Structure 1
């Protein structure tokens, strides 16, 4: 692009009316969603984030700054979370009416955090590296808030755009996904934070400014590559995992007439996975996805017996299921979305109840005020479990069970006081069909392995099921909408905890504190020149 063209585009975005700024910002956000899994067209963010920042230049009314960010967020989240609409179409006669309200409402709420980013950012009046550092810090702090306020939804963090590369995501072992997001948005925003006139000069400084965003990504990649060069692949020699993916479509999953059929489909695939295996000394773990068993086992002892008869000696079944108990305060029942653990005699070894429930999917908040049904079929609202657990079952290496989107929360997947050896994630992404949703969910799960230095075994009803090592590398997987099983010896965790596993989010916030100190020192040293550099 010619020099005059860049300057003209910049001036146009600066001078255009607020209404047009809002429309342009929305479109920039919408195109930014192309950077998310599974497309990963992250290069577009160099253009869209630059456009967003240019739209904010010279704005005196900070309410307009907020709206520009908010409209960008609406486009970004509508494009990135479109797949949520699929869940409303499974029972379209009941829920299709709510689809537009849910999509627009959720996108509007999540966009508040990007609006706050641009609102605060507009209060700073300098450019170059200082401006980019402030923008990146504000962006990630708002992502952190989005992941923690109310129930929290750290989905499609900007760092997830880089999960196509095993090397790029290794920085998460130090700073968590927040650090990955920081360096990603720093790279994408730097050109927008540099005045166009400084990008068009033919000198070394201009060359360095244009190349700086790519230097960041190359440095991340090189650091990750070196880490992986020295990575060792270690496995528990006597523990094998079989991950079962039955690929049952959501419209068929909860029909009462299909319960036995669905159960035996899982069992048939489990039997197939037994054929080539040694069954004498090896502990075999058979992992079924979320709600694979739709019977209450205390009322259906025969199901437990059938399971026991079809497992190998020393075999254990870890299956998503449902359970209920009588409510001690009234005549009703309490239901849980659970993982059930059965041995080769059909005995129940333990349970885990999901504690981080999906609003409107598994329960309806403020139900007395909002008289609608939850989207999940078949049962009353689920109740939350007791919280994060590390389970110790027989001779199985200790593990942390996670159901569905419990795996998306950085720093909240492993008990610090009773650290597990691996992570177990069972999920049912059939709600979202052939869409971006399951890929985004899978990418987030991989990041937890890198952060914690723990392997992850993931069973998904329709995919993506996988066995992942403690560096986030996929050892084996079943693709979306495929049927079958994968097996492998269970990977061992890293010999020592990652920095993030030891100190959690504190590492990143200490980094930000040092960063702001650096900006303050630069301002003091450079004086009036600070705003230019």
Structure 2
């Protein structure tokens, strides 16, 4: 491997330190600035694409190595095959920064122009990330904008432009640093963008509504290896009943598939006991009208009535079988791996005086899907089971993703998880309270619902994508004029 390739690989791996749990949010500006300089100096578009691929390989192998844990440690796939599958997956993800590098070097002329090149590269990077988050149901994990959760001053842009808009800003600033840090106008623009982020952080886009609500979020910490063992069913039931009894509240929230049964198979006395002290939101699989089953959340109320939510954005290979891949499930042990998706638009649940919109595990990666419940929803609740990923970076990374969803919507986000990280996130994206991962405990918090709507909540990803497109088109138009 050439020295430049090694540098790109290490820069990609180092960029992961900008994300949770490390939180070195200025670091991606530096690592991307160096990558973009490599692209600018690359002799051909193919060389730039290769550098982008190598950077992406380092980035994703370091950042989503927990895929190996889910396949081998938990799923039971043999180690060599799990390692190869992880490498293949990360190689696929690395194609997107490679695409951005190729197009940049292909479209930029040979005369360096810091401002124009910076806007082109920001637009291309943003569109490549959006493509990664869309193709084949999407995988926007470690999207660049997530690195700028609070306390980053750039977090102030999230209610305006969402995570893809943040990606555009980070890529723009990185390119300005890489191409024109010695020049006045690029340096001034960097300072101005960061300063305006501080101003935006002080704006409250939404306002509280209703009385404070006492909530308890339960974290059972039931090992994945035991959870689906029929002989250990009592372990899950007894764990959550004890936590609920010891921590009464107006609203009790249990994580995704907290009780590993279909809802109609759960003993009625268990449901009654869970709902005795107040109202309960239970993560549990539910039967569908078509005869299948959905990954769901059921709201239990003391009178016996219930409302439900069915997860609509399913995880390929984890919750449904992509066409032609039935053989994959002969290699791993994944219980309940063929869920039916729920409808894309579902009404919030009326619970404890609030309108609560659940999202289940992976669904909170997709900001434009979460905002479908706005402005009706006053409170967001995520139910997750990340025991599949062991003691890895997945838990703090997922919490950071939830911080962006709170910022984008101007709503509190509550997270009830099996193994971590169970937390309460304020509308400004700060983590108000969190349980230590891999502990059996209950998080007691007091929250208020919020009403109103942020600019992102109203328009979604459209403005960020339009900004990216305009940045690319303006650059191309300027290039044609100079020819």
Q: TM-score, normalised by structure 2?
A: 0.90
Deviation of 1:369 after TM superposition, in Å, equals 5.8
Q: Give the 4+ runs in structure 1 shifted more than 6 A.
A: 520-524
Structure 2 equivalent of residue 132 of structure 1 = 118
The answer to whether residue 432 in structure 2 is matched with residue 455 in structure 1 is no
Change in CA separation of 1:119 and 1:88 when aligned onto 2, cut-off 3 Å: same
Structure 1 equivalent of residue 101 of structure 2 = 118
Q: In structure 1, which of residues 511, 527, 533 is the aligned counterpart of residue 467 of structure 2? A: 511
Name the SS for the 2:239 alignment partner: helix
Alignment of 1:337-486 (within 5 A): 337-345=295-303, 347=304, 349-367=306-324, 370-373=327-330, 375=332, 377-393=334-350, 396-415=353-372, 419-486=376-443
Alignment of 1:93-242 (within 5 A): 93-123=76-106, 124-125=108-109, 126-165=112-151, 167-194=153-180, 199=182, 205=183, 209=186, 213=190, 215-220=192-197, 222-227=198-203, 234=208, 236-237=210-211, 239-242=213-216
Contact kept, 8 Å, 1:40 with 1:164, in 2: the verdict is no
Deviation of 1:105 after TM superposition, in Å, equals 1.2
Deviation of 1:263 after TM superposition, in Å, equals 1.2
Q: In structure 2, which of residues 228, 242, 246 is the aligned counterpart of residue 268 of structure 1? A: 242
Name the SS for the 1:240 alignment partner: strand
1:78-107 deviations in Å (ceiling 9; x for gaps): 111112221123346445343112211111
Contact kept, 8 Å, 1:423 with 1:457, in 2: the verdict is yes
Structure 2 equivalent of residue 258 of structure 1 = 232
Change in CA separation of 1:435 and 1:518 when aligned onto 2, cut-off 3 Å: same
Name the SS for the 2:257 alignment partner: strand
Name the SS for the 1:383 alignment partner: coil
1:156-202 deviations in Å (ceiling 9; x for gaps): 111111214164312110111111111112222222223xxx83xxx
Deviation of 1:417 after TM superposition, in Å, equals 7.6
Structure 1 equivalent of residue 445 of structure 2 = 488
Contact kept, 8 Å, 1:36 with 1:161, in 2: the verdict is yes
Contact kept, 8 Å, 1:467 with 1:477, in 2: the verdict is yes
1:97-147 deviations in Å (ceiling 9; x for gaps): 431122111111111111110011002023212111111111011111111
Larger radius of gyration: 1
Name the SS for the 1:372 alignment partner: helix
Structure 1 equivalent of residue 458 of structure 2 = 502
Structure 2 equivalent of residue 285 of structure 1 = 251
Name the SS for the 2:343 alignment partner: coil
Change in CA separation of 1:428 and 1:143 when aligned onto 2, cut-off 3 Å: same
Change in CA separation of 1:379 and 1:499 when aligned onto 2, cut-off 3 Å: closer
Structure 1 equivalent of residue 284 of structure 2 = 321
Measure, in 2, the Cα distance between the counterparts of 1:45 and 1:445: 20
Measure, in 2, the Cα distance between the counterparts of 1:144 and 1:459: 28
Deviation of 1:505 after TM superposition, in Å, equals 1.6
Change in CA separation of 1:469 and 1:62 when aligned onto 2, cut-off 3 Å: same
1:230-287 deviations in Å (ceiling 9; x for gaps): 688736316332111122222222222221121111111111112xx6xxxxxx1110
Measure, in 2, the Cα distance between the counterparts of 1:187 and 1:297: 50
Change in CA separation of 1:365 and 1:41 when aligned onto 2, cut-off 3 Å: same
Name the SS for the 1:430 alignment partner: helix
Change in CA separation of 1:321 and 1:394 when aligned onto 2, cut-off 3 Å: closer
The answer to whether residue 218 in structure 2 is matched with residue 244 in structure 1 is yes
Name the SS for the 1:150 alignment partner: helix
Change in CA separation of 1:52 and 1:422 when aligned onto 2, cut-off 3 Å: same
Q: TM-score, normalised by structure 1?
A: 0.82
Deviation of 1:76 after TM superposition, in Å, equals 0.8
Contact kept, 8 Å, 1:403 with 1:427, in 2: the verdict is yes
Change in CA separation of 1:166 and 1:235 when aligned onto 2, cut-off 3 Å: farther
Deviation of 1:415 after TM superposition, in Å, equals 2.2
Measure, in 1, the Cα distance between the counterparts of 2:289 and 2:478: 64
Contact kept, 8 Å, 2:206 with 2:410, in 1: the verdict is no
Measure, in 2, the Cα distance between the counterparts of 1:482 and 1:211: 48
Contact kept, 8 Å, 2:76 with 2:332, in 1: the verdict is no
Structure 2 equivalent of residue 298 of structure 1 = 264
Matched positions, count: 480
Measure, in 2, the Cα distance between the counterparts of 1:214 and 1:492: 35
Measure, in 1, the Cα distance between the counterparts of 2:420 and 2:207: 25
Deviation of 1:394 after TM superposition, in Å, equals 5.9
Change in CA separation of 1:417 and 1:51 when aligned onto 2, cut-off 3 Å: closer
Structure 1 equivalent of residue 33 of structure 2 = 50
Q: In structure 2, which of residues 259, 273, 282 is the aligned counterpart of residue 309 of structure 1? A: 273
Alpha-carbon RMSD across the aligned residues, in angstroms, is 2.9
Contact kept, 8 Å, 1:363 with 1:374, in 2: the verdict is no
Deviation of 1:325 after TM superposition, in Å, equals 5.8
**Structure 2 unaligned residues grouped into runs of 5+:** none
Change in CA separation of 1:391 and 1:132 when aligned onto 2, cut-off 3 Å: same
